[in-house]
Structure 1
Amino acid sequence: MQLRNEQRQHIHTLTRLAEDQMSGLDTYRDVIRRSWERCMGEYHLDPTRPRSVRVLTQQALKEHREPVDELLHVARAGVDQLFAQVAPLGYVLLLADQRGITVDFRGQRDQEADLRRAGLHLGLDWGERHAGTCAVGTCLHEARAITCHQNEHFDATHIDLTCTAAAITDPQGNVIAVLDISALRSPRASESQNFCLPMVSLYARMIEDAYFLHRYRDSLILRFDTTRAFVHLNGKGLIAIEEDGSIIAANGEGRGLIEAHLQRWPPWSVDLLPNANQLFDCEVSDLLSIPYSSEDQIRAFRVRASEAICFITVMEPRGPRAYQRPTPSTPTPVPALDRLASDDPAMHRLIKLARRLRNEMVNVLITGETGTGKEVLARALHDSGSRAEGPFVAVNCAAIPESLIESELFGYLPGAFTGGRSKGMRGLIQQADGGTLFLDEIGDMPLTLQTRLLRVLAESEVMPLGAEKAVRVDIRVITATHRDMHELIAHGQFREDLYYRLNGAQLRLPALRERADKHFIIRSIYGSLVAERQCDVRLRADAMSALLAYAWPGNIRQLKNALRFALATTEGEEITVHDLPEECRGRVASTPQVIESPPQSDVCESGQALHTLLQETGWNISDVARRLGVSRPTVYRRMRRHALVSPNRRSIDEMTDMEESDKYHLDPRSKA
C-alpha cells in the first residue's frame, strides 16, 4: 500500500508513543488515549501495518441484519431525515450493529467507489478490535457519543475521515446499535465538527424512543417532561407500566429517574424496580386517570427523588392486546376550590384534602408565606361547605390595635367601658354565628386573648365585655399564619393547648415561586382585573415571560399588585414587559436611571450606610429613594436584605405590605 506523507507521519507518531510506553498520550483527549492504549496493548494492532477494510459476505451481512431487523424498520424514518440534512454537506450515514458491522447505509452514488475504499458502505466491519480507534468502534466500547476526527483514528488509512457516532440502547439500557455520520474530507480543525455530535445524539435518542414505543405498544406508557408544552410532542421520558403501576421498562431518561430513586432509597435494588407511584408523589389511580381528568391529558406531579416537577401524559396500548379501561368516576366539581389551582402537585393534594374537610366541624390551620392567598382558601372552604349560607367573618389579628381587639372579637354591652357605643356591639365571634370565623395572622394574637379564645372553642360560647351570662355560638374556626407556630410556642408567645385546638387539620399553601401552574394563576388574576376594569387590554408574551421568570417574594398579593399597576399605567392596548413594575422586569429592565451622586448609590449595598441614611431622613422611604436615585421597592428590598426594620413597623413584611398598599392605593388589610 502506497502511503502519503501524512499517513507516514501518523504511523511515526504512534510508533514513538508505543516505544515510549504511551507516555505522550496525555496530549490527546482521554477517550482517544484510552482507545489507542487498547489498540496497541490489548488488540496488538501494529500502527506500521495499516489494515484493509473488512467486508462481510452477503450471507454474513444477512445474519447480522436479522437480529436488528425490527430496529431497522423503526429507524428508517429517522435515518432518512438525518441523511437528508447532512448529505448536502458531504456526509454519509451508517447504522452499525452491536459488533460494529454496518447494517444500513446512506450515501451518494457518485462517490460509491471512494466510499467503499474508505470502508464507508454496507457490510463493513468498524469494530474497534479490527478497525482500531474510530467513531463506531470506540462509541461501542465507551457506550457514549464521540467524534473521531482525522488523525485521531488509529489506522493511518482512515486519517482523512471525520466520523461522529452515538449509541442506540434498548429499553433495558443495553447498546444495540450505533448511528454514525462520516465524511471523506473535512477542514483540519476539529471545531468544524462541533455541530455533528448534538445532531447525531438527537437522532439516536429519537430512534431509541421510537423503538421503545414500538416494543411496548401493547402496554401503558407514561411520557413525561419538565416542560408541559413538549410532553405530547416529544416528551423526554418514557416508562412502560402495568395496570398496578409496576414498571416494565424505561428509556434513558426514565432509567435516570429510576436510578435517582434507587440511590435515595438504597433498600431498593435494581432487580426490584420501584412502582411508578413511588417515583412520583401520587397514587397509581392519579396516573391512570390522567386521560379522563385533565382537559389536555397532562398532569403535573412532583418527583420524589429530586422534588422537581414533571408533566406526565399516558399513552394507551395500541397493539392487539389493547383494552378499554372503564372511565373512572370523576369527583363532584367544587368550583370554589377547583378554581384555586390548575396543575400544581402540592395544590392538588391541598384541594383534595380541602374537599374532605369542607363539610366537617374540624378547625383548620392554613400556613404559608405572606401573600399566598390564605384568606382566599379560607373563603373557598366556607363557600364550598354546608355553612356557605352563613356568614364568613374575617379578622386580621395583626391589623386590629391590641387595645381594641378584645372588644372587637367578643363584643360588649352598653356602658361596658368609656368610649363604647351606647347600644353596645356584637363581637365578630357572635357575628360569625352559623358560619365561619377566619382569624388571620393568629400568631399575632395577644396571650391574654388566647386564653379567652380557648374558652370559646372549648365551650362554644362567648362572654361579651360587661356581660354576666355567656352567649352560645355555633361557629367553625379557620386560622392562618405565616409564622412558625412551634417557635412561638417554644418562646412562650403562643399557648400550646390553643394551637392544638386550632390545628385540627393543617393546609400548607406553597409559595408562588414553587408552583407549577404560575401561568394559570397569572391568567386568572389578570382576567379578573380586566373584567373589573371593563377594559380590553392584552397581556403580551414578553410580559408573560417576565412574570413567569420573576421569583415573587410577595407571592400572589404582589403579583396582583403588579398586574394592577401595569393596567393602570399602560397607554396602549396591550401590556408589555416595560409596563410592569421595575423589579419584575428582570434583565430586560428599562433604561438605567441617571444618578446625580454615584458614590451615594452604593448606600443600597451597605447595610450600615443605609441605616444611617434612613435615620437621617426619619425613616422616610420616599426621601431615601430620591436621594439614591432608585425606586422605593429597591429601598425596601435592600432593607429586607440587611434586616433593617423601621421603629414604626413590627416587621419588614408589614413595611412591604404598607409600601405596596400606599403605592397602589389599597387597603393594607386586603388580601390577594
Structure 2
Amino acid sequence: MSHRLATPPHIGRTHVIAQAHARSLELGLRASEVPDFNPLRRPALRELVDRNQSLYTHALPVMETLHAQIVDTQSMVLLTDSQGVILHSLGDSDFVEKANRVALCPGVSWAEADRGTNAIGTALVDGQPTVVHADEHFLHANRILTCSCAPIADPFGRTIGALDVSGDTRGFHKHTLALVRMSAQMIENHLFSNQFADAVRVHFHARAEFIGTLFEGLAAFAADGTFLSANRSALFQFGQPLAALEAQPFEALFGVAFAHVLQRITRAPGENVVLTLPSGVRVVARGEYSAQRYVGPAAEVADVATARMPASNAVRQAPRIGGEEPLATLQTLDTGDAQVAAILRRVAKVRGRDIPILILGKTGTGKEWLARAIHHDSPRRAAPFVALNCASLPDTLIEAELFGYEDGAFTGAKKRGSVGKIVQADGGTLFLDEIGDMPLAQQVRLMRVLQERTVVPLGGTRAIPVDLRIVCATHRNLRAMIDEGTFREDLYYRINGLVVTLPALRERTDLAALVTRMLEIQREGEGLPRRVSPQVLERFMQSRWPGNLRQLANVLRTASIMAEGADQIELDDLPEDFLHDCADAAVNGSASVTLAGGEDQKGAALDPQAPTPSRMEDWQATLIAQTLARLDGNVSAAARELGLARNTVYRYLRRGGTTH
C-alpha cells in the first residue's frame, strides 16, 4: 500500500462503518463471537518485534509522549504491525484489566478478519485514519471501547503498521484522532530521516516557521540528484503522488538546478533558501547533507555517492545569512553596533581556551551565528561544528539525538546505530540551542558527559571518550528556572564559563550596515538588487522586528526575489504581512521615531524630503498620504496595505489630508 496524496474526498463515517460491517459479514464473523484469548507466545512475539525493529524503535518514544498526553483517561496506546498484530502497548493501569477482557494486548491480531470492524483493522484496510466508537464495533464484546487509529507508512509509502489509542467509551474525545495522526506522522518522519541519513534531504514549507516541525515537507535525493522519496507533507505540497515524482528531476520539483542547491547546502548548512514548486508556490527550504561516517565496532565506509564529500563539510562550514559567502569570523559579525562589538571583544579573549560559553538573547538575535563564528575562530575550526535545537524535538527524542543509539538498533539497508550529536562533535564544537528546553533527565546525563568526557549511547555499555567544546544558548531565564526546579544548578555553572547577551535587532544601531551585508551575501549573481531604497530603509528603522535578525534576513530574501532585475528594493517589493505589521505599529504608537533627511551614522542616503512629525497623528497622516500617492489614490488598496479600515482613510481625505 502506498502513500495517499492527501485525504480522499470526504466519505461519511456512517458509510465507512457500514462498509466495514459488510466486510465482516463476508468474512463469516458473528457479532456474538467471544474474543480470542490466545496471543502469540513470548518467543514468537519477540521474533515479530525483531522483524519490525525499526518501526518499534522509532515508535516507542513517540508512544510514551502520546501516552503522557492522555494519561488518566482510561485508555491505552497500541502499536501494531502491518497485519494488525499488537506489538506493544502502554496503558493506564485501571484500563489494562478491561482491555485484557477483550484481548486488547500484545501478541493478538486486531485485523478485520479476526475482530471485525475496529479502528486498527479498518484503518489498515482503508489506509486512512479511523475512529470506531462503541456500538460501531462489529463484535458485541468490543463495544465497551472507543478507538482512534492511524496507519504508519515506511519511507517508500508502504503501510508497515498502525498507531492506536483505545479507551473506555465514556472517555471519548473528538481530538484524540488528531493526536494519533500527528504521532503517526512523527514516527514516519523519523523513519524517513533514518532511512535517508546519508542522502540529500530538503525540508520545506510555504511558511518558514513550519520548517523543523511535524508539518514540514521532506524530500530525499541521491548525491547525483536522483529523487528517492518524499513524506506525506511533501506529497501534499507537490500535489502529486509518490509514483509521479520518481521520474522528475530536481529542477522540475524545485525550480532550480540540483548542483546549485547542493553547493549552498554544503557551504552553509541550516540556512534557508526560497524554492518554487511545480504549482508556482514559493516555499522556504533548508537543505541537509550529513554524509557522516559512523564510528564504533560496526562502522561502515560510506558508499561512493556519499563519499564524494568529506563528512565534515556538512557541519564545519561557517554560517551565512543567506547567500554564497559565509559569515565566518567574529570580525565579519562586527557591523558597527557598540553592544555587539563589546560582546565580540569578550568572546575573542577566550579564543583558543575551552571555556564554555552561554549565549543569551531573544529568538532570532543571531545566537547560532555567533556560536559558529566562535568555532571558526578557534583551534577546533577544522573539526565538526554540530548543532542541536533542544526545543525542536519531543522530550523523549532529545536523548536519542544527543547521546545516540547502540549499534544495530535499526534495520534497513544497513544495520547500524546512530552515534548521536555528542560523538559527531568529537574534536570540535557542540552547540546546544535552547538548552533551557532540555528535560531534567537529559540534563543529568549531559552533566555526566561534561564531567567524565565520555558518553554511553542508549542501550549500550561501552563508554566512548569525547573531546569537545560546548556552546549553549537560550532565550529563557535559567536562574529563574533553577529556583523553580526546572533547570539543574550544577549544569548551569558547568555551561556558563562566559555569559554574553545579544541585543534585539531594534536595540542595535547598525541596521543599515546589516542590510547592506545581508544583501551582499544573498546575491547569487547578476539580477538581484544591491541595496534598498531610502523609503525601505526608513520603514526598516520604524519596524519593531519581533523576529530580529532572522526576520530581517527573510524579509530581504523575499524582497530580493520580488525585485529581481531592479537595482534596489522598493516598498512594493516588501512582503505584505511585513508592511501590515509596520502600519499597525505606527498606528498603535509602537513605531520608533522617523528619521530626518540627510544620512544616518553609517552614511546611507535617506530621503531629504522625509517628514519628521512630532506626533503619532502626524505620522499616520504622512503614512496614508505617501501610500495613497504611490497607489494613485486607490483607497481600498491603501487601506489593505496599511492594515486600516477604509473609513479611516476616507476620514483623512475629508479632513483635507489630516486624521485629527
What is the TM-score when the length of structure 2 is the normalising length?
A: 0.50
Structure with bigger RCO (C-alpha 8 Å, 6+ apart): 2
Larger Rg: 1
TM-score by length of 1: 0.49
